[in-house]
Amino acid sequence: MTSFVVVANRLPVDASPGGLVSALQPIARSSGGAWVGWAGEPDDRPEPFEHEGVRIHPVELSGDDVDRYYEGQSNSTIWPLFHDSVEPPVHRRAWRVAYEQVNRRFAEAAAAASAQGATVWVHDYQLLLVPGMLRELRPDLRIGFFLHIPFPPVELFMQLPRRAEFLRGMLGADLVGFQQTLAAQNFLRLTAQLLGLHPEGERVEYEGRTVTARAFPISIDVAEIETLAADPAVQDDARRLRKDLGGDRRLLLLGVDRLDYTKGIDQRIEAYGELLADGTITNDEAVLVQVATPSRMRVEQYRQLRERVEREVGRINGEFGDVGRVPLHYLFQTRTRAELVALYLAADIMLVTPLRDGMNLVAKEYVAARRDEGGALVLSEFTGAHSELSEASGGAFSVNPYDVDDLKRGIAAAIAAGPADLAGRMRRMREQVLAHDVDRWARAFLETLG
């Protein structure tokens, strides 16, 4: 039993470095802590073991669990609903039953791993019921919950079957963290509307406890990205990529996303095609590189998205390309962090244009990588990152990704901007990102949790 326990859908074993693992593993290690999660393969449940100084407690998921709890309720119901129903959520009773059963399994594993009075930090939309279940099992614990994705407005959340149970599950935590202040306010409004509670400021009384709901915008491991950007091998790779992908062209535009319908890839490619069609840019002066990391390809909506994107890429290259020279390189593959940093260094303009995103760490990674204060960021208004890096604060070129004309305007503005303007924007964004790294985020949450 340990005094600090992280509970997340996935274990930190074989995970890509950065993000959640980079932030929490050192804290778990220094406190002799534990991590509860799924190993990533159906029906695989190794015994608890030690990994880089952290006690690992695997939770077993069957093939049916993966289908119903993970791909079903988590990624076909909650994910689209919490992302403004960009795609219609699918509601199935069997998925909700499996979600509850798996959440209970996680709660029981966390209870077994926690010492008396331990701090337990539960993460994300796959485990919304865990804080409440854990509270029932272990009322002595200090429980935090952080939601990494957006939290929807009241009218959207109200569509969720068994909605009150999800809200009560989250209220099992002492501190509920969100990416943005508006999300915390949505949550508190729901406690009044659904449960008849009386929130005041950031707090609400529930079952004799005070629950705090607050924004803690997540960030990145800035030191890791800067170290990679300064690596001569990564810089050589950036020059090679620039030559291989761009040739002698003046501009290299870049998109890096999971292949997900929330990321606005369709609209971005459509806008780029229209810029080529109206002559704002030509195949001789610009190239777009779109990296799309495979994601949830067993879910029908994701397969359809892949087909749409690849069809549009083919159309644009067929219409505006030339022999051995295309205006759009589409890479449906996973890249290492070092390879991504090389791409960031090669890119003149970074396009981060999701339809909805809790934060979007790619935007922050691009800024952290640009130690040369070069490059430009075109950023969707509907990302958590926008409140920190927006045009209003003299940083990114802000766009509405639902409006293809506005996307074109933002891209064209980034293309037309002068070197002094771009350097000033990048400098201001870097100041923000460097001052608010992922370690500061984790410590701010845990200090507030107490």
**What pTM did the predictor assign?**
0.94
| Residue 443 CB-half CA count within 13 A | 6
What would the pLDDT profile of 414-435 be if each residue is shown by its tens digit?
A: 999 999 999 999 999 999 999 9
Residue 417 placed within a domain: yes
Q: What is the DSSP letter of 123?
A: E
349-352 vs 328-331, strand pairing mode: unpaired
Please say which residue of 190, 216, 242 terminates a domain. Answer: 216
Q: Would you call 148 a catalytic residue per the annotation?
A: yes
Query: What pLDDT, in 10s, does the model give residues 102-119?
Result: 999 999 999 999 999 999
Do 197 and 48 share a structural domain? yes
Structural domain tally of the chain? 2
Pair 56, 140 in one domain? yes
Amino acid letter at 178? F
CATH of the domain at 299: 3.40.50.2000
Who contacts 173 (Cβ-Cβ below 8 Å, separation ≥6)? Answer: 122, 131, 135, 143, 144, 145, 211
Catalytic residue among 57, 83, 148, 386: 148
Give 214's strand partners. Answer: 177
Q: Is 446 inside a domain boundary?
A: no
Is 357 a residue of the active site? yes
Whether residue 448 lies inside any domain: the answer is no
How far apart are alpha carbons 349 and 375 in whole angstroms? 6
344-371 residue pLDDT tens: 999 999 999 999 999 999 999 999 999 9
237/386 same-domain check: yes
Q: What is the DSSP string of 187-217?
A: HHHHHHHHH----BTTEEEETTEEEEEEE--
Q: What is the mean pLDDT of residues 191-216?
A: 97
Q: For residue 93, is it within any domain?
A: yes
pLDDT greater than 50 at residue 17: no
Do 389 and 356 meet the contact criterion of CB atoms below 8 Å apart?
A: no
Claim to verify: residue 133 and residue 240 sit in the same structural domain: no
From the candidates 237, 357, 436, 437, give the one annotated as an active-site residue: 357
For residue 15, is pLDDT > 60?
Answer: no
Tokens of 403: 């409006």
Examine the domain organization and report whether 272 and 125 are in the same domain: no
Q: What is the pLDDT of residue 19?
A: 56
Domain boundary among 180, 198, 216: 216
Q: How far apart are CA 87 and CA 83, in angstroms?
A: 8
The yes-or-no verdict on residue 20 having pLDDT over 90 is: no
How many Å apart are CA 320 and CA 5, to the nearest integer? 54
Enclosing domain of residue 134: 2-216
Q: Which residues contact 48 (CB under 8 A, 6 or more apart)?
A: 55, 56, 57, 58
Q: Is the pLDDT of residue 219 over 50?
A: yes
Does 442 reside within a domain?
no
Give helix 222-230 / helix 361-369 axis angle, nearest 10°.
Answer: 40
Report yes or no on 441 lying in a domain: no
Q: Which of 168, 197, 216 marks a domain boundary? A: 216
Residues 118, 265: one domain?
no
Mean pLDDT (the chain, rounded): 93
Cα dihedral angle (333, 335, 35, 32), rounded to 10 degrees?
170
CA-CA-CA-CA torsion sign (300, 302, 305, 310): negative
- How far is the C-alpha of 407 from the C-alpha of 127, rounded, in Å? 35
| Predicted confidence (pLDDT) per residue in 126-168, tens digit | 999 999 999 999 999 999 999 999 999 999 999 999 999 999 9
